[in-house]
Amino acid sequence: MILSDKTLRKMLDEGTLTITPLSDDQTPERVGVQIQPASVDLRLGTHFLKLNENDIACIDLEQPASYVELERDEIILPPKSFILATTMEYIKLPDDLTAFVEGRSSIGRMGLFIQNAGWVDPGFEGEITLELYNANQLPIKLAAGRRICQLVFAQLDDEALFPYRGKYQGQRKATGSLVFDDLENR
């Protein structure tokens, strides 16, 4: 079941769901509001990672990737390029709640694809690392603090038997791939 704004507000007030910092202007004009009818908008942070194309010959899923780290209030994403970004918000999901990361329609209509593997497991805690891809022939200017994606929450039928406690737990800032640490590579 997808959770409504009413349920999300209740969970946030009770502390069973954490999203911080959260701007929640509840006026009828809904200026600056992050809590939507069935989702919560998340904002772009200031930390970015891009693959260091000058340091590696190819991407090897069995080796750590080399990244260039950027800390900025604004970034230009060139055409047909990819970058990792982070959200401003730190989230903490209870063990019986999951979330889907979706790009905002208004942003997608500008040709910016936003993903994070699309899923946040029950029990996850941390900032969300986003994968951003510019599908355009023109650069896209992105500014920190802009609402960039949304989380849609779904209630599990029961608490997860093994909630998320994995390698990305507690992440702050954009976090590069840790696929080299997968079981298949051990």
Structure tokens at 42: 């998340």
Contact (Cβ atoms closer than 8 angstroms) between residue 127 and residue 45? yes
Q: Which of 89, 131, 159, 184 is catalytic?
A: 131
* Residue 131 falls in the annotated catalytic set: yes
Three-state secondary-structure class, residue 37? coil
Contact (Cβ atoms closer than 8 angstroms) between residue 78 and residue 139? yes
Three-state secondary-structure class, residue 128? strand
Residue entry with tokens 């209630």: 155
Identify residue 113 by its one-letter amino acid code: F
Contact (Cβ atoms closer than 8 angstroms) between residue 121 and residue 99? no
Q: What are phi and psi of 180, to 5 degrees?
A: -60, -20
Catalytically active residues are 131
